[in-house]
Every structure is written in C-alpha cells, then in structure tokens.
C-alpha cells in the first residue's frame, strides 16, 4: 500500500494539472467566444444601423422626389398663369383688331399683340431656362435697350386685363430718363411683368402705375404701384419665398405667383439689387428696385421736347389721383408751359390761362357718363384756342365715334407729345447714326475667323469712313499689329489657334504704344461674364455680334474720341425712312430677319443676297458634318461648326438658324456630347430653309449681275477691246459700250479704271482712253 | 494531436487493463505533457505512439491490433459524444461518405489545429463502397477500427478487404466495404 501512495499522489497531481489545464483552455476559449460574440453583436448592430441608414436614405430620396413632384406641380400651375396673361394680351388685341377700322390704331394693336407674343416666347424660354439653370444661376445679357419702350410694352400687355377689371393703368416713366441703357431688357420686362400681373390680380378698384425714374445717385428706379389689398409686414417678409414657405394662406392668397416673385427677386439680386416693398393692408403696395444700368444714349424725351412746349398748356380733367400726379410731374420735367388739373370740368376756369398758349384739354374717360357730361360742358365753355382730346381705354377706341382726338390708355407719351407739339419727332433720332460719325482717315483692323462676319464688318465700317484691314486669326492679328500701326482693333474672341483673349494679352504684353491701342472684343456672347473676360484680357470694350451699327459706332467713337457730327433736323425724317430697310427680293421667311441684316449692309440687298448665297453654299452640308462630328465624338469640331453658323447666321439675318446653332453650341459647352434631338432637328430644318431660300434668290443675283453686276474677266477684256476698236471707227458705238461697261462694273474692282475711262471720254481724250485700255489689258496679261 | 484522442485512449487502457496500466505507461513513457491530458488540449502525436509501443510490449498484442481496437472503442465513444453526426445518417456506408466533406470539416471548425486524414470514396451501390484513406500518419488500422465501430453502432455487418502502401511518407489505404444483409 505504501507502494501505492506516491503513485496515487502522482495520479492526483496529474488529474489536477489536467483539470487546471482544461480550465485555462476553457477560460481562454470562453473569452474568445465572448469576444467573438461581442463582434457578432456589434456586427449585427452595425448591420442594423446600416439598414436604418439605408432606410433613411431611401426615405429622404422618396421625400425629395415627392417634394420635387410637388414643386413641379406648383411650378406648372404658376407657369401656366404666367403664360396665360400675355396670351390674353394677344387674344385681347386681336379681338379688338377685328372690329378696328382706324389704320393707325390697328397698327398699334398689332404691335402690342406682337409684343405680348414676344413676352410669351421669352417667358416660355424662361421656363425652359429655369429648369435648366435653377442650379447654375442667371446670367444677364448686355444689350442696348430703350427702357421706356420696354416698360410701355409690358404695360400694354397687361392693359386689357387691368381695364376689364375697371382698373386704370398709368405709365409713369420720367421723360428725363435716358432713351437707351445697356442691360438685360428681357429680364427687366419679366420682373416688371410679374409685379404688374400681381398688381392687377390683387387690386379690385383704383389704379396701377408702372414707372421708372432716375435717382440722384444715377441709378434707375423702376416701380409698380397699386391701390390693391396690400401686404402685412408678415407677408412682406415671406412673399419672395412664398413658394418655399408652406403657409397655405399666403400661397393661396398669392396664387401660383409665389415662384414668379422668387424668380423676380433672384433676377434683381443678379443685377446686384433687391426688390423692396412699401405696403400696408388695404392701402395698396409699391414694389420697387434700383438698377445701376450704363447709359447707352443720353438723349431723352425731356431733352427732345424741352424747348418746344414752353407755349403749351395742358388741362387734365381726371378723377385718377395717380394720373394727375404723374402727368403733372411728367409735364413739369419736360418743360410744359402750363399744366392744370381738376376732377370736374366745372372747376376749370379758362380765363386763367393766357391766350398766348396753345391749349389742350384732356378729358379722362373715368366713366362713359363723365365723358358725355364733360363734352357738353366744354361746348358751353366755348374756348377758342383750346383743342380737346379724350383719353379712353384702348379697347373702346374702335367702338366710339368721336369728334375729338382720342388718346388711348395706357397713355403713350410720345403720342401725346407728338399731338401737342404738332411735330412728328417720332421714334427717330434713336435710329442709325451711321452718318453721324466721320471716321475718315482712321484705320481699323478687324480679325475674325468667319468670312461672313469679316465681309459685313468691312461693308459697315468702310461706309463709316474707316480704312478696314481684315485678319483671320489671333496669330495673324498679333503679327500684323507688330508691323503696322492702326487706330483700332476689332477682335473676335473665339477663333481657332490663338483666340482673341490670348491675342489681346499678347499685344498688351508688348508694352509701349500697344498698351493704349484700342481693342474691342467682338463676340456672339452677350453675357456679362463674357464681357468681364474680355476686359480682364486687356480689351477696352465689348460689342456683340451681330453688330448693332449704332452701338458699335457709338462705342468706337467714344474710344477714339470722335465727336458726333451735328445733324440738321430735316435730315431726321429722311434718315428715318432710310433706316427702316425693306427687302425687295428676299422674301419674308419665318426665322429670318432680313430688314435688320440689311441695316448692316446699309440696305444693299444684293450684297446681302450674296452673303446668303455664300453661307448657303458653305453650309449646305453642315447638318451632315455636324452629325458626323457627333458620331465620331469630335466635340471640338462640332462645337466650332455650331459657333461659326451662329455668327454667320445672325449676320445675314438667319436668326432662327443662328439661335439653333447657339443652342447646340451651348449644349456642347455644357459637356453634352450629343445635343438633344429637338435642337438638332431645328438646326437641320433651318439649314434646309436657308438652302431653299438661296435657291429662290439666286436667279435675282444672276439677273442683276448680267444687267449691271460683275462681269467675268473675259467679258471685261472683250468689252475693252471692242471699245478700243470702236474709238477709231464709231465714237457713238464707243459711248454705248463705255456706258455698258460702266454699268456692269459698278461696285467691282474695275470701277476705278472704268470711271477714268468714262471721264476721259467725256473730255474727248481719245488717246488717254486708248492708253488706259492698253495698260489695263497689259496688267491682266501680266497677272496671267 | 487533439486531446480527445489521448483521453479516449487512456479510458480504453484503464477500462481494459486497469488504472495501474495507465500509470505504468505514463511512468515509462514519461511524456513532456506529464500525461495530464484533457480532451480540449492538444498534445504531441509521438506521445500516443509511445504509449501504443509500450502497451504492445506489456500485453504482447500486435500494435496493429491495439490501434484497430482503439478505433472500435473511439467509434463507440464518438457515437455517444457526437450523436448528431450519427443521427444524420441511416447506415454505416452513408455515414462514411460524410466523414471527409462534413464530419471532419466540422471537426476542423471546432479544433482549427486538428490534423485530419483525407478520405475519398467510390460508392458502387447502397451496400458497396470503396474508401480511400490518405494521411501522413499511418493510422489505417485506426480507420479500420472506426469503420467497424460505426458498423456496430448502426448494427450493420460489413465485410472489409484492405490493401495499402506508404509512399514518400504518405500512407495510402483502400478499404473495400460490402454490407452483408
Ligand atoms: C463523429 C465522428 C468523428 C469525429 C468527431 C472525428 C474526429 C476526429 C478527431 C478529433 C481526430 C483527431 C485529429 C487531430 O488530433 O489532429 C480524428 C482523426 C482521425 N479520424 Fe476521425 N472523426 C470521426 C469519424 C471518423 C471515422 C468514421 C473515421 C474512419 C473512417 C475517422 C478516421 C480518422 C482517422 C484515421 C484519424 C487519425 C488521423 C490521421 O489518420 O491522420 N474518423 N478524427
């Protein structure tokens, strides 16, 4: 047994060790298990969290989608309102037009309908743009525009609506306002239209005034004022974001226009300003904003009519408070000799006004009854030197037979002024100044990669007296300018190789006289940011293509310090005729604006036809080329092509084509490799129209050429030889031939020689003619 | 080698030859582990080899018989410890087809450091199977015992013919099994 004791002891030790080992292993295993379990729990938690996050993402996406659907619905409702208003304008005008017999009035109605139509188009464009540009923001155009006319056109659009509600719509544009500014007219019209539409909507009785005036700081204040329901302080705060504010009552109260106003406020913000409101509940509202617009033409109604009204008196009989206030101000600013107003004719004492005045009595037709009463009273007054005019809603014009001159509401200031001055100073002087500057002796270098643009520029600026030299790209320009002194450079921006911006930078970098060389950027981009880019590149100014003659010349004159020539007043009338070019051969085709293109070639239609034919010839295969470039993924070439057509198209008056090309170019710029089918389709159609048109007018040019235009060189030589022969045999025959030669070489490079020949013939210097013919033929032979 | 093999082996020795034999074996072999085995530990395979050799000396039973016997013992023990594996199958033959791709796979999950043999098979009919054993440890006898032990569990009568060789230190053994109805 003693033997067993140590063995038992060892067995016991062994079992103990095994147990301890087992325990430690188990402990370790359980720790591992615990850790693994932890991990699993965490994993499942994080999975749960992930699932939750995914859920939340999904929910958010769903909410966003719903919100955007909601916004889109709202947007649509809102936009259909915006569309309906000018649409009503068009329909309203047309309805009146149907019964209107007065030719002058119908023209006004048509103009207004057209204006409304244009507003409609620009609104629709905005809708498209809004959906495109919402995230990108708004880019403002810079173009010359007549602010008063712009406001007038908006007012006319809303007149039918306002009048049908019994509201008086008053134009309150200050006559001291410069006739032309530079800025984005469409945007301003859009904003004013929106404010005006709201004013009409929320005013049940009284009057609405739309106006503009220059503030002391030089900015222009534009306002829309009504006697409507007004806005509480609370509403004023919300109104520009009415759409995003989920306040149903506000939204309901302001209808779908919530978005309209927030767009307006965005637009005015882009102008660097903001829309302000003065309003009290039930006391009307005044929306106004100040814009800092560069003045393009300092002329104003006030300046034009100033001296002409000193001996004129106007008596206004009206119950409209606003009309009285604004007309009073208007006549004061324009220098009217005497203004008086009263609510009823009975208050008016004719003896009060000096007999020296030309006196005009304006009877406002507040109600038809008022007018009849007033007329009866006027007859009693029996004022000899007083002409009576009535002021009636334009819709009523056609119906009423009147012995008096009828002014229409909304009042067209020019119409009134023309009437009371008796002079038709009409629209005029704003028009073409081509002759009003003389740039003779100045040398201009024009660089553009587009031949049509160059041709047009040459035409245009040579006529203004410039000696015009043409270049085709940036590098050529830099090289030419290093060697040759010029007075002015017109530089296209987008050119292959060295573009206009780098060319300008390079030229400026030469220092010295190159720092002062006037360089004007010439681009198809009317945007502010483009202008900034050209100025940053050291250019002095920026004009847009197609070239606006007046604007270009005014800009150039300013840069070169050339003064406008004093122009005799009589010239105005004639000039006016001239500046309204009409086409003789080019038919009116939708999408083409030949009259304005004609202006760029100073009415020389054959020249324009030539341009049209050239473009048609060069671009006949443009659609195929474009498609090929697109298919090959060659965006650069495709964009270049679109850009070219945009420029040339605009120049020859193919506005729709130019627009389609611009649209395509824009899409390329946005990185779209395949512009949408719609714009490509339009592009194809417009090219097709251009081709058809060019086919139609080609015979005109051919016929004209035969009659008078360019001879072929062969014919020219033959004719010269015939003349040379007949000089010795039959002088009568020689004269006929010389006349023929003269006619058929007008405006060709033979012109100079031929006119020398002719004047020699007139002086009977037969030997000289012979010598001239000899040397000309010799020159041609040498060239061959 | 996994501790369970050692603890089962010692159980068998103790059951068949008594506790003193266990002490004797441990005393003589004097292993590094001190013979304190636990089923969850891992021990040097050579210790097991040494025990079998010593047991052979003391009992004069051939090593192959000892290992075979251990196999049958182990099978019975597994049958009681890992009942699930056995319940999944209806017969010995079916069970054997599960060893390599299911049972030993699960074993490895439980003991990541286990060194298991490779088995492949051709099943000729429900009652005829050829099983190929492949291992660096020459334990075909153990496999044989395990098969017989399993057959005992399922109450199958299995006829086995074996042939095998050792090549490059790897033992290959082929078991041709036929169930006798
Ligand atoms: C529930 C059934 C089974 C279990 C749980 C099981 C488990 C094990 C374990 C834990 C080992 C030790 C491995 C090591 O320590 O490295 C082992 C080895 C072994 N098993 Fe199984 N086994 C089972 C069934 C079988 C059957 C049916 C056979 C025979 C056909 C078999 C043949 C072997 C062999 C021969 C070895 C020795 C190692 C070698 O030869 O390399 N096993 N087994």
**pLDDT at residue number B77:** 93
Residue A426 pLDDT exceeds 50? no
User: Does residue B161 sit at the A interface (CB-CB below 8 Å)?
Assistant: no
Contact at CB, B41 and A7, closer than 8 angstroms: no
Q: What does the alpha-carbon distance between residue A158 and residue A169 come to, in Å, rounded to a whole number?
A: 9
User: Strand runs (DSSP E) across B2-147, as ranges?
Assistant: 118-125, 128-135
Residue A369 pLDDT exceeds 60? no
| Cα A757 to averaged position of ligand 1 atoms, centre (Å) | 125
**pLDDT at residue number A615:** 85
pLDDT band with cut points at 50, 70 and 90 for residue A81 = low
Nearest-atom number in ligand 1 for the CA of B1 is 15
Lowest mean pLDDT among A267-276, A326-335, A438-447, A694-703: A694-703
Residue A463 pLDDT exceeds 80? no
pLDDT average, residue stretch A747-751: 72
Residue B78, ligand 1, Cβ within 6 A? yes
pLDDT average, residue stretch A99-118: 80
**pLDDT at residue number A275:** 92
Q: Which two tokens stand for residue A409?
A: 């509401």
**pLDDT at residue number A544:** 76
Residue B147, ligand 1, Cβ within 6 A? yes
Lowest mean pLDDT among A310-319, A554-563, A742-751: A742-751
**pLDDT at residue number A381:** 64
Query: How far, rounded to the nearest angstrom, does the alpha carbon of residue B12 sit from its chain's CA centroid?
Result: 13
**pLDDT at residue number B150:** 96
User: Does residue B23 sit at the A interface (CB-CB below 8 Å)?
Assistant: yes
**pLDDT at residue number B179:** 93
Q: How far apart are the first and last CA of chain A?
A: 144
Residue with tokens 């341009």: A611
**pLDDT at residue number B152:** 95
Q: What does the alpha-carbon distance between residue A573 and residue A428 come to, in Å, rounded to a whole number?
A: 8
CA neighbor of A720 nearest in space, from A689, A693, A744? A744
Cα-based distances in Å from B25 to A3, A433, B12, B34, B58: 17, 127, 13, 11, 9
Residue A135 pLDDT exceeds 60? no
Residue A498 pLDDT exceeds 60? yes
pLDDT average, residue stretch A469-496: 88
Most confident of A22-36, A65-79, A107-121, A744-758: A22-36
**pLDDT at residue number A561:** 80
| Cα B35 to averaged position of ligand 1 atoms, centre (Å) | 21
pLDDT average, residue stretch A302-312: 81
> Quick one: DSSP state of residue B100?
I
Residue A430 pLDDT exceeds 50? no
pLDDT tens-digit series, residues B80-137: 989 999 999 999 999 999 999 899 998 888 888 889 999 999 988 888 999 999 999 9
User: Does residue B129 sit at the A interface (CB-CB below 8 Å)?
Assistant: no
Nearest-CA distance A15 → chain B (Å): 6
Nearest-CA distance B15 → chain A (Å): 16
Nearest neighbour of B40 by CB, restricted to A14, A15, A26: A26
Judge contact between A115 and A90, C-beta under 8 A: no
Residue of B116, B129, B131, B153 to test ligand 1 pocket, by largest number of atoms within 8 Å of CB: B116
Residue A707 pLDDT exceeds 90? no
pLDDT band with cut points at 50, 70 and 90 for residue B158 = very high
pLDDT average, residue stretch A633-648: 85
| Cα A37 to averaged position of ligand 1 atoms, centre (Å) | 28
pLDDT average, residue stretch B36-62: 93
Nearest-atom number in ligand 1 for the CA of B136 is 41
Contact at CB, A25 and B41, closer than 8 angstroms: yes
Which of B120 and A679 is assigned the larger pLDDT? B120
Cα-based distances in Å from A351 to A274, A362, A377, A383, B51: 49, 17, 15, 9, 149
**pLDDT at residue number A375:** 67
Residue A258 pLDDT exceeds 60? no
Residue A401 pLDDT exceeds 70? no
| Secondary structure (3-state) at A605 | helix
Q: What does the alpha-carbon distance between residue A151 and residue A209 come to, in Å, rounded to a whole number?
A: 11
ipTM of the complex: 0.73
Contact at CB, B34 and A11, closer than 8 angstroms: no
pLDDT tens-digit series, residues A613-626: 888 888 888 888 88
DSSP labels, A43-66: HHHHHHHHHHHHHHHHHHHHHHHH
Residue A153 pLDDT exceeds 80? yes
Nearest-CA distance B51 → chain A (Å): 16
| Residue of B4, B32, B40, B42 for testing the chain A interface, max A β-carbons within 10 Å | B40
Lowest mean pLDDT among A47-51, A510-514, A515-519: A510-514
Tally C-beta pairs within 8 A across A and B: 30
Average pLDDT of every residue of chain B: 93
pTM of the model: 0.41
β-strands A276-279, A285-291: how paired?
A: antiparallel
Q: What does the alpha-carbon distance between residue A124 and residue A261 come to, in Å, rounded to a whole number?
A: 16
Q: What percent of chain B has pLDDT over 90?
A: 84
pLDDT band with cut points at 50, 70 and 90 for residue A246 = very low
pLDDT band with cut points at 50, 70 and 90 for residue A122 = low
DSSP labels, A721-740: HHHHHHHHH-HHHHHHHHHH
Judge contact between A670 and A575, C-beta under 8 A: no
Find chain A residues with C-beta within 8 A of B35's C-beta: 14
**pLDDT at residue number A577:** 37
Residue of B2, B68, B76, B104 to test ligand 1 pocket, by largest number of atoms within 8 Å of CB: B104
Residue B26, ligand 1, Cβ within 6 A? no
Contact at CB, B36 and A17, closer than 8 angstroms: yes
> Quick one: DSSP state of residue A141?
B
Contact at CB, B38 and A29, closer than 8 angstroms: no
| Cα B119 to averaged position of ligand 1 atoms, centre (Å) | 10
**pLDDT at residue number A34:** 87
Residue B40 pLDDT exceeds 50? yes
Q: Which two tokens stand for residue A557?
A: 């004159």
Q: What percent of chain A has pLDDT over 90?
A: 8
Residue B143 pLDDT exceeds 80? yes
**pLDDT at residue number A224:** 95
Residue B106, ligand 1, Cβ within 6 A? no
**pLDDT at residue number B126:** 86
pLDDT band with cut points at 50, 70 and 90 for residue A429 = very low
Residue of B9, B99, B108, B150 to test ligand 1 pocket, by largest number of atoms within 8 Å of CB: B99
Rounded (10°) CA dihedral A231, A233, A237, A238: -50
Interfacial residues of A (vs B; Cβ cutoff 8 Å): 7, 10-11, 13-19, 21-22, 25-26, 29
**pLDDT at residue number B61:** 95
Nearest-atom number in ligand 1 for the CA of B115 is 16
Residue B152, ligand 1, Cβ within 6 A? no
Find chain B residues with C-beta within 8 A of A36's C-beta: none
CA-proximal residue: ligand 1, atom 32 (nearest)? B143
**pLDDT at residue number B174:** 96
Find chain B residues with C-beta within 8 A of A29's C-beta: 40
pLDDT tens-digit series, residues A350-360: 676 766 777 88
Nearest-atom number in ligand 1 for the CA of B150 is 27
Q: What percent of chain A has pLDDT over 70?
A: 82
């Amino acid at each position: 047994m003693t033997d067993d004791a140590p063995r038992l002891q060892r067995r016991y030790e062994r079992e103990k060790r095994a147990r301890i080992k087992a325990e430690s292993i188990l402990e370790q295993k359980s720790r591992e298990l615990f850790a693994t379990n932890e991990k699993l729990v965490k994993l499942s938690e994080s999975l749960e969290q992930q699932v939750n996050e995914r859920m939340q993402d999904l929910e958010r996406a769903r909410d966003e989608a719903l919100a955007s659907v909601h916004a889109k619905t709202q947007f649509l409702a809102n936009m259909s309102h915006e569309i309906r208003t000018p649409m009503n304008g068009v329909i309203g005008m047309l309805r009146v037009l149907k019964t209107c017999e007065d030719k002058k009035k119908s023209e006004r109605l048509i103009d207004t309908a057209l204006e409304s139509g244009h507003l409609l188009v620009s609104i629709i464009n905005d809708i498209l743009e809004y959906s495109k540009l919402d995230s990108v923001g708004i880019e403002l155009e810079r173009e010359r525009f007549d602010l008063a006319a712009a406001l007038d056109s908006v007012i006319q659009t809303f007149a039918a609506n306002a009048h049908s509600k019994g509201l008086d719509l008053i134009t309150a544009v200050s006559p001291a306002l410069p006739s032309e500014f530079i800025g984005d007219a469409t945007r301003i019209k859009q904003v004013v239209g929106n404010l005006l539409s709201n004013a009409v909507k929320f005013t049940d009785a009284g009057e609405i005034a739309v106006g503009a005036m220059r503030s002391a700081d030089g900015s222009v204040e534009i306002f829309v004022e009504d006697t409507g329901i007004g806005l509480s302080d609370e509403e004023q705060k919300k109104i520009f974001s009415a759409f995003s504010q989920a306040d149903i009552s506000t939204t309901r109260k302001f209808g779908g226009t919530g978005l309209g106003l927030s767009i307006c406020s965005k637009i005015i913000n882009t102008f660097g300003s903001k829309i302000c409101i003065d309003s009290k509940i039930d006391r009307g509202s005044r929306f106004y904003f100040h814009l800092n617009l560069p003045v393009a033409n300092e002329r104003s109604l006030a300046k034009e009519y100033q001296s002409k009204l000193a001996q004129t008196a106007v008596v206004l009989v009206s119950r409209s408070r606003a009309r009285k206030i604004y007309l009073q101000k208007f006549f004061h600013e324009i220098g009217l000799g005497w203004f008086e107003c009263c609510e009823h004719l009975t208050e008016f004492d004719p003896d009060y006004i000096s007999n020296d005045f030309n006196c005009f009595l304006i009877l406002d037709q507040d109600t038809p009854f008022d007018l009849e009463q007033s007329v009866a009273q006027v007859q009693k007054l029996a004022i000899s030197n007083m002409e009576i005019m009535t002021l009636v809603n334009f819709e009523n014009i056609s119906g009423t037979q009147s012995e008096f001159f009828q002014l229409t509401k909304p009042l067209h200031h020019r119409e009134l002024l023309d009437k009371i001055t008796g002079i038709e100073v009409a629209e005029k002087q704003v028009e073409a100044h081509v002759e009003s500057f003389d740039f003779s002796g100045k040398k201009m270098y024009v660089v553009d990669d587009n031949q049509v643009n160059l041709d047009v520029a040459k035409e245009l600026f040579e006529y203004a007296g410039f000696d015009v030299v043409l270049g085709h790209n940036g590098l050529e320009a830099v090289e030419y300018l290093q060697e040759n002194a010029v007075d002015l450079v017109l530089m296209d921006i987008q050119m292959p190789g060295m573009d206009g911006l780098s060319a300008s930078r390079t030229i400026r970098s030469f220092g010295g006289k190159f720092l002062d060389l006037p360089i004007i950027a010439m681009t198809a981009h009317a945007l502010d940011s483009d202008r900034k880019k050209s100025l940053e590149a050291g250019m002095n100014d920026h004009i847009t293509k197609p070239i606006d003659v007046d604007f270009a010349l005014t800009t150039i004159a300013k840069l070169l310090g050339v003064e406008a020539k004093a122009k005799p007043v009589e010239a105005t009338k004639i000039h006016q005729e001239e500046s309204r070019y009409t086409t003789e051969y080019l038919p009116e085709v939708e999408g083409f604006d030949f009259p304005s293109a004609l202006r760029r070639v100073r009415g020389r239609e054959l020249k324009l036809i030539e341009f049209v034919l050239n473009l048609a010839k060069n671009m006949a295969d443009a659609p195929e080329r474009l498609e090929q470039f697109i298919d090959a993924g060659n965006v650069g070439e495709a964009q270049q092509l679109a850009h070219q057509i945009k420029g040339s198209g605009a120049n020859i008056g193919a506005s729709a084509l130019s627009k389609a090309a611009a649209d395509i170019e824009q899409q390329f710029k946005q990185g779209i490799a395949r512009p949408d089918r719609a714009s490509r389709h339009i592009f194809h159609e417009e090219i097709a129209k251009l081709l058809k048109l060019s086919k139609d007018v080609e015979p005109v040019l051919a016929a004209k050429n035969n009659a008078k235009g360019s001879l072929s060189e062969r014919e020219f030589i033959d004719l010269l030889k015939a003349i040379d022969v007949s000089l010795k045999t039959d002088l009568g025959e020689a004269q006929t031939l010389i006349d023929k030669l003269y006619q058929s070489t007008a405006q060709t490079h033979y012109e100079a020689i031929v006119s020398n020949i002719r004047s020699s013939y007139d002086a009977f210097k037969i030997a000289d003619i012979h010598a001239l013919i000899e040397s000309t033929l010799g020159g041609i032979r040498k060239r061959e | 080698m996994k501790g369970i093999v050692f603890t089962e082996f010692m159980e068998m020795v103790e059951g068949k030859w008594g506790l003193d034999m266990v002490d004797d074996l441990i005393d003589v072999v004097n292993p590094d582990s001190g013979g304190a085995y636990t089923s969850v530990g891992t021990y040097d395979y050579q210790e097991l080899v040494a025990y079998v050799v010593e047991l052979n000396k003391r009992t004069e039973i051939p090593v192959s018989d000892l290992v075979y016997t251990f196999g049958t013992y182990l099978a019975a023990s597994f049958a009681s410890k890992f009942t699930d594996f056995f319940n999944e199958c209806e017969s010995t033959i079916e069970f054997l087809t599960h060893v390599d791709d299911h049972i030993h796979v699960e074993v490895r999950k439980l003991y990541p450091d286990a060194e298991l043999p490779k088995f492949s098979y051709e099943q000729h009919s429900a009652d005829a199977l050829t099983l190929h054993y492949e291992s660096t440890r020459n334990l075909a006898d153990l496999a044989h015992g395990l098969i017989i032990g399993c057959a005992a569990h399922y109450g199958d009568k299995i006829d086995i013919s074996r042939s095998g060789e050792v090549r490059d230190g790897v033992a290959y053994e082929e078991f041709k099994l036929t169930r006798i109805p």
